Amino acid sequence: MDEIKNVVKAYLPNENFVSCAPLGNGHINSTFLVTTDRNQYTLQKVNTSIFKDVDGLMDNIQAVTHHIRAKARMQGIDPARATLHFMLTPEGKRYLNYNGDVYRIYKYIDKAFSIEKMENPQHFYEAGIAFGKFANDLSDFDASQLSETIKNFHNTVSRYNDFEKAVSDNLSGRASEVADEIAFVRAREGFTHMFVDKLADGSLPVRVTHNDTKLNNVLFDEETNLPTTVIDLDTVMPGSYLYDFGDAMRSGSTHAAEDEKDLSLVDFDLELYEAFTKGYLSMCKDSLTKVEIELLPYASIMLTLECGIRFLTDHLNGDTYFRIHREGHNLDRCRTQFKLVSLMEQNVDNMRKIIEKYL
């Protein structure tokens, strides 16, 4: 607490610290709601072991939020609630180095809430609108201006190679205990090339993408229950619309928690899938290419498989990347994703029909 007080004092020398409380449940950064005698702020300690290029990270966020605020003004939307707004230090810097740690502060968006677990299809429809609008607002932004904040973040071929290395190294000594999960991934090695190869040959366009489109990365207005802000912009970088669409479905089209131990509770809800698809395509369908449309039904499978591979890789490496809260936590997460992959694979034709309906 003393460190946070000192950070706030250095960042906001004209305000008096009142309180601080944890905010959200992100796996990577540490996030707090800070209250001063003048205002409330979101304070984050950036995980620099993951985000090594903090300047590139903040360059991306500055460029994208500036663009979205400009669009909001043109659309008659309150720019203060349309996107995140980070504060500058007294020296005009976008983050603060304190005792070797990196901190940044955003203006807190009040009277808003996030949803951790999907229960209402209407909320998922509205989330689809939020992420579709995010894509649409940035459709005229040159993705080549952005840095790759995490190299090969959604590169499924690279993720597969990392997985094979983890199996080979077996740093945790757990490989023999997860033979079924290893076989599940290896059976889909060819599939991991589907998007990556087309991005490489130019047939799949490079877009400005959020790259972490979980439902809880949308803030909803408390009064209207409508989406107000897309948050967690650390992974905004060049990518594909397929990544954003697929990752939203990974986390939002099932009623199960990401780390559900009872796999019988993991479902794939086509009603939820349709709700998000309807909202998302209503905002950005006109900018989709023929190749993107053809691949869209596979996006949810690809991103769910990738996430499961990442959890399994971390489990094999000894839980060095994702924050865990119990023994075998990453393995539980992995198994949940792989069950969802299997269910999605059984519904490719149904997903394709839903997408065609809203195109």
pLDDT in tens, 81-133: 999 999 999 999 999 999 999 999 999 999 999 988 777 899 899 999 999 99
pLDDT above 70 (res 27)? no
Separation between Cα atoms, residue 79 and residue 81, nearest integer Å: 5
pLDDT of 322 above 90: no
Looking at the chain, the whole-number percentage of residues with pLDDT higher than 90 is 90
Q: Per-residue pLDDT averaged across 291-311, rounded? A: 97
- The predicted structure's pLDDT at residue 24: 77
Report the pLDDT value the prediction gives residue 78, as an integer from 0 to 100: 94
Question: In this prediction, what percent of the chain has a pLDDT beyond 70?
Answer: 99
Per-residue pLDDT reduced to its tens digit, 217-248? 999 999 998 999 999 999 999 999 999 999 99
Residue 323's pLDDT band, with cuts at 50, 70 and 90, is confident
Nearest CA among 279, 281, 234, 276 for reference residue 251: 276
Closest CA to 112 of 210, 11, 5, 40: 40
Mean pLDDT of the chain: 95
Using pLDDT thresholds of 50, 70 and 90, give the confidence band for residue 50: confident
pLDDT tens sequence across 184-225: 999 999 999 999 999 999 999 999 999 999 889 999 999 998
Per DSSP bridges, beta strands 17-22 and 30-36 are antiparallel
Q: What is the mean pLDDT of residues 66-83?
A: 96
Residue 49 pLDDT more than 90?
A: no
Task: DSSP letter for 205, please.
Answer: -
DSSP 19: E
C-alpha gyration radius of the chain: 20
What pLDDT does residue 1 have?
73
Cα-flanking dihedrals φ and ψ of residue 243, to 5°?
-65, -50
| pLDDT tops 90 at residue 25 | no
3-state secondary structure of 227: strand
Helix (H, G, I), strand (E, B) or coil at 21: strand
Go through the domains of the chain in sequence order and give each one's CATH number.
2-110 (3.30.200.20), 121-358 (3.90.1200.10)
Please determine, for residue 18, whether its predicted confidence score (pLDDT) is greater than 90: yes
Q: Tokens standing for 160?
A: 């597969």
Is residue 337 scored above 90 in pLDDT?
yes
* 161: confidence class by pLDDT, cuts 50, 70, 90: very high
